[in-house]
């Protein structure tokens, strides 16, 4: 099942693998835990599933919400494991989590995670409402922008606060960093989502960066 343009109209179609005209090629992925591939179709038979635009729009909205929720989860888990690390790691006769600079850094990260959680939960609530809400796309754009920014910021901080071991292959921290950046690369950066929000509220071009 994949998204496709049907006579210029967005839709969803089903392709049967292993049949004529359908090929899949492996791609090198920045995040090795999520393999990527290239789907190539030439003269392939497809089964049309959805072209009704209300349904396509609903699927896209849920997809945006799922991505934001996963990025929030990546940030939360990276933050939690980093807090556990700084509470155990000892330098200069003290746990590094007892140093004021580390405390302040973690407090800032927690604030960012909780702000993102509120935005994602709020977008989920609005999307789940029975009635059609004109503000749902704006809430989704806010959640997506915050989630992209928070996931990349928190996972980068996790690597920094763990030190050199975090960039060794067997350590977990760089894997979270890879997941965050790979998802953002595939689904849009914080600036991309802010631009979409600016268009929704009819701001002048460039206003989303301020």
Q: What is the per-residue DSSP string for 139-162? A: HHHHHHHHHHHHHHHHHHHHHHHH
Length of the chain: 210
What's the gap between Cα 40 and its chain centre? Answer: 25
Pairing label, strands 94-95, 36-41: unpaired
**Number of domains the chain is built from:** 2
Q: Are residues 34 and 114 in the same domain?
A: no
Does the structure show a pLDDT above 80 at 16?
no
Instruction: List, for residues 158-167, the tens digit of each pLDDT value.
Output: 999 999 999 9
Does the structure show a pLDDT above 80 at 205?
no
Mean pLDDT value across residues 185-206: 86
For the whole model, what pTM was predicted? 0.88
Does the structure show a pLDDT above 60 at 210?
no
CATH number assigned to the domain comprising residue 145: 1.20.140.10
Instruction: List, for residues 87-102, the tens digit of each pLDDT value.
Output: 999 999 999 999 999 9
Q: Are residues 35 and 59 in the same domain?
A: no
The last residue of a domain, from among 50, 68, 83: 50
When pLDDT is cut at 50, 70 and 90, the band that residue 209 belongs to is low
Pairing label, strands 46-50, 36-41: unpaired
Q: Which domain holds residue 34?
A: 2-50
> 51 in helix, strand or coil?
coil
Instruction: List, for residues 35-84, the tens digit of each pLDDT value.
Output: 888 888 887 777 877 878 888 888 899 999 999 999 999 999 999 999 99
Contact 78, 154 (CB under 8 A): yes
């Amino acid at each position: 099942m994949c998204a496709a343009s049907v006579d210029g109209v967005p839709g969803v179609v089903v392709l049967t693998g292993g049949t004529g005209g359908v090929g899949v090629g492996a791609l090198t992925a920045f995040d090795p835990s999520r393999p990527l591939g290239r789907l190539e179709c030439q003269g392939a038979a497809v089964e049309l599933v959805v072209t009704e635009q209300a349904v396509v729009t609903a699927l896209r909205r849920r997809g945006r919400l799922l991505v934001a929720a996963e990025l929030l989860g990546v940030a939360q888990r990276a933050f939690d494991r980093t807090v556990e690390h700084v509470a155990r790691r000892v330098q200069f006769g003290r746990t590094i989590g007892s140093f004021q600079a580390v405390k302040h850094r973690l407090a800032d990260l927690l604030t960012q995670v909780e702000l993102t959680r509120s935005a994602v939960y709020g977008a989920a609530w609005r999307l789940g409402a029975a009635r059609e809400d004109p503000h749902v796309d704006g809430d989704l754009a806010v959640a997506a922008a915050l989630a992209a920014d928070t996931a990349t910021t928190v996972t980068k901080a996790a690597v920094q606060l763990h030190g050199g071991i975090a960039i060794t292959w067997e350590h977990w921290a760089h894997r979270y960093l890879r997941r965050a950046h790979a998802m953002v690369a595939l689904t849009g950066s914080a600036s991309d989502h802010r631009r979409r929000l600016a268009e929704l509220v009819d701001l002048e071009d460039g206003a989303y960066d301020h």
